[in-house]
Structure 1
């Protein structure tokens, strides 16, 4: 799969699982995203896709890398809904 396609799928999943904010962003906890069965079936390397989306300024989260359990309560913020 190419990165653009995976980032597009990530945007869709964050919108599905997240909560829309008054400022126009959508927020989902990393743990919710990581533990979702549909997300697990779509992404072979969720953390890599998150890093690619962050680098493109599509999403934002605190830190460099997110790890299961350790960062379950970290907000993943969807900044843009398109590439």
Structure 2
């Protein structure tokens, strides 16, 4: 699994799911539940939570907490901090 490639895909998918809308800080924001339940993302990411953790570690995204779990954390905002990944 190429983590950098997965993170690039994640950034693209977060922008798609945000539907071009940014928050007051100028960042794209998507709820974890929206990302987790999206059919395209489910087929694309083998280990979505691991990809999210890698992207957070690289400071491409941020969210509250260490690990997100489906159901319990569906309303947690995932904030995209970069426009694209090199």
1:30 aligned residue (21, 32, 37): 32
Q: Which runs of 5+ in 2 are unaligned?
A: none
- Scaled by the length of structure 1, what TM-score is found? 0.95
Q: Which runs of 5+ in 1 are unaligned?
A: none
1:23 CA displacement: 2.1
- Scaled by the length of structure 2, what TM-score is found? 0.92
Q: What root-mean-square deviation, in Å, do the aligned CA atoms of Structure 1 and Structure 2 show?
A: 0.9
Aligned residues: 83
1:24 CA displacement: 1.9
**1:1-83 equivalent positions in 2, closer than 5 A:** 1-18=1-18, 19-83=21-85
Supply the distance in 1 between the matched residues of 2:4 and 2:24 (Cα, whole angstroms).
27
- 4+ residue runs of structure 1 moved beyond 4 angstroms? none
